[in-house]
Amino acid sequence: MTMIIWGMTFVSTKVLLRSFTPVEILVFRFMIGLFALILLNPRPLKLQCRSHEWYFVGIGLTGITLYFLLENIALTYSYASNVGVITSLTPFFVAICSHFILKDEKLSPRFLVGFLVAMVGILLIHINGTHALQLNPRGDILAILAGVVWGLYSVLIRKLSQFHYNTLQVTRRGFVYGLLFMLPAIFLTDFKWDLTRLAQPQNLLNLLFLGLGASALCFVSWNWTIKVLGVIRSSVYIYLGPVIAVIASALILSERITPLAILGTALTLSGLLISQFENLSRSKSAKAKIPPPSA
């Protein structure tokens, strides 16, 4: 569910870029998201230990501020196809960070095979018969850093889940720090607080979608998913992003789906299934060992 919504965000962002800058979209969507989370749960979060505050600072800096700023800045230096492919490497960066930082989650051969298959599919989706990928070192390096930053964010969320805080309150506190870290970008760019742009229904609806759906709802659901499934198992669902983007572009923007995109979609989904096969097998085995309830 989370990846379906996140996969559609590029459509809303593409529409909003006609009236807003990338930084404006980023700030407004997370302000809306923060306001929604405060309404849903206004109770303040009580820390079990004062040192835990650094985890919240970390998730705000990595998952909210740095990830989106690095991705948006990368788009100004590199091709969208390059950035799309590189950020699709995120599950690999997440797995590497988890492997070396978290002791309870390790890389498996199936994950690596699934990763390679999915990446071939993602490459086909982004190339899509238009042009080959071309190296743009500055933008490509920024896109790689965005993936690494998301890996760190995922590990920090996993660590916070071990303290059994309320997921909504954790997400809300991360949004606060994320917006605070965005303040320099507001002053260093041509940021405008002009809300008359929201008089246009398409601007208002798309910003609400990004704020309420892609930010408030999805960050809560994603953080909860990491708590339940773990970092590595959750991250492979990121492969669905390009697939959803292809479908959304066809349905909403009337873009044509080429045979290359269909093949890429099939390979990407295959990579996801391969990566998850071992986990699915374990789940079935565990269920099989559970004795049936007595009458």
Tens digits of per-residue pLDDT, 56-101? 999 999 999 999 888 777 766 766 556 666 667 777 777 777 777 7
Instruction: Return the pLDDT at 266.
Output: 78
On whether residue 162 sits in a domain, the answer given is yes
Instruction: Return the pLDDT at 34.
Output: 96
Beta-carbon contacts of residue 182 (< 8 Å; ≥ 6 apart): 23, 26, 27, 30, 64, 65, 69
On whether residue 178 sits in a domain, the answer given is yes
On whether residue 294 sits in a domain, the answer given is no
Q: pLDDT band for position 288 (50/70/90)? A: very low
On whether residue 148 sits in a domain, the answer given is yes
Instruction: Return the pLDDT at 219.
Output: 93
- pLDDT at residue 27 greater than cutoff 90: yes
Q: How many independent structural domains does the chain possess?
A: 1
- Domain residues for the domain of 257 are 2-42+52-283
On whether residue 267 sits in a domain, the answer given is yes
- pLDDT at residue 292 greater than cutoff 50: no
Q: What percent of the chain has pLDDT over 90?
A: 29
On whether residue 23 sits in a domain, the answer given is yes
On whether residue 87 sits in a domain, the answer given is yes
Top-confidence residue, 26 or 290 = 26
